[in-house]
């Protein structure tokens, strides 16, 4: 995601969280914090097959929610907290500002 998020990017990120397994992966990574978790640790914690987990991680990475970093033979997965902040800010930016209804003059 870019610094100035647009509705299309926000929708893509939210859609990627719209699957139970991806939501579980993301929440676990958020709990792990900046230290992140390896793919093996995610498999162990969530009980997902490695190939299934790889698919879900790919979706989270493509939507900008997860950052992957290779450390030797392991791939460490971390949540992109800046992206999470942009999404929540977007959802809250017009909170309680009121809605101006359109009226048809015809």
Burial-class residue 32 by CB neighbours within 10 Å (0-12, 13-18, 19+): middle
- Whose tokens are 């162990």? That residue is 44
- Which one, of 41, 72, 77, 35, lies nearest residue 57 by Cα? 77
pTM attached to this predicted model: 0.86
Span 6-39, pLDDT tens digits? 899 999 999 999 999 999 999 999 999 999 999 9
For 1-98, strand residue ranges (E) read 37-38, 66-71, 74-79
* CATH for 7-91 (1.10.10.10, 1.10.3720.10, 2.40.50.140, 3.30.390.30): 1.10.10.10
- Whose tokens are 């999404």? That residue is 87
């Amino acid at each position: 995601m870019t610094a100035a998020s647009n509705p299309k990017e926000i929708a893509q990120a939210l859609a990627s969280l719209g699957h139970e397994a991806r939501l579980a992966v993301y929440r676990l990574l958020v709990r792990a914090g900046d230290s992140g978790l390896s793919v093996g640790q995610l498999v162990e914690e969530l009980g997902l097959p490695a190939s299934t987990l790889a698919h879900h991680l790919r979706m989270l990475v493509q939507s900008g929610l997860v950052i992957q970093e290779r450390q030797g033979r392991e791939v460490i997965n971390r949540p992109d907290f800046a992206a999470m902040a942009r999404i929540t800010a977007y959802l809250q930016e017009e909170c309680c500002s009121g809605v101006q209804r359109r009226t048809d003059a015809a």
